[in-house]
């Protein structure tokens, strides 16, 4: 089994513990949506697609498990470190890269490292494109416009 598949199996089991069906469905859709977007963005930028996708699968898990978004990025990074330590799918440098991306992913108005930026951008792509009729959040507007330019989405 690939490591991404193995991680997804773990995340799926965690998400399946959520008892509100609507919330569970949107959690699954969001993590898989961000995971796909992260792979695409990492490929375009010559970065590790697997690590990007793994970070995306874990990035909001803390919020889903606890039902709270308070400091969810920082707490989510701690949770990811715990999970990756248990699953032993990544080496130290990869764990750092994943946890750093999760730690910074809510800081949409600042620029961090290349993999941190992949996760932020993937999150924004999912927020903005899963329902194009919705208004783009103000803090995501500039980033979404940059992404549209980068990917030639000029419609
Ligand atoms: Fe997210």
Residue 47's CB: how many other CB atoms inside 10 A?
A: 16
How far, in Å, from the CA of 34 to the mean position of ligand 1?
Answer: 7
Higher pLDDT, 132 or 117: 117
Which DSSP symbol is given to 93? H
How far, in Å, from the CA of 33 to the mean position of ligand 1?
Answer: 9
Distance CA 36, CA 79 (A): 21
pLDDT tens readout for residues 90-120? 999 999 999 999 999 999 999 999 999 999 9
How far, in Å, from the CA of 123 to the mean position of ligand 1?
Answer: 5
**Nearest one of 62, 73, 70, 154 to 112, comparing CA atoms:** 73
pLDDT tens readout for residues 23-74? 999 999 999 999 999 999 999 999 999 999 999 999 999 999 999 999 999 9
Ion ligand 1: residues, CB < 5 A: 60, 123
């Amino acid at each position: 089994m690939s490591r991404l598949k193995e991680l997804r199996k773990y995340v799926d089991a965690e998400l399946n513990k959520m008892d509100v069906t609507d919330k569970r469905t949107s959690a699954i859709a969001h993590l898989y949506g961000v995971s796909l977007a992260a792979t695409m963005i990492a490929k375009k930028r010559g970065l590790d697609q697997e690590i990007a996708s793994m970070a995306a699968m874990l990035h909001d898990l803390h919020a889903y498990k606890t039902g709270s978004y308070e400091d969810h990025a920082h707490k989510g990074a701690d949770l990811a470190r715990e999970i990756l330590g248990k699953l032993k799918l990544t080496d130290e440098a990869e764990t750092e890269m994943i946890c750093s991306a999760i730690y910074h992913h809510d800081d949409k108005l600042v620029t961090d490292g290349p993999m941190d930026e992949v996760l932020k951008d993937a999150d924004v792509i999912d927020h903005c494109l899963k329902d194009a009729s919705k208004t783009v959040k103000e803090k995501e507007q500039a980033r979404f416009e940059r992404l549209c330019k980068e990917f030639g989405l000029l419609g």
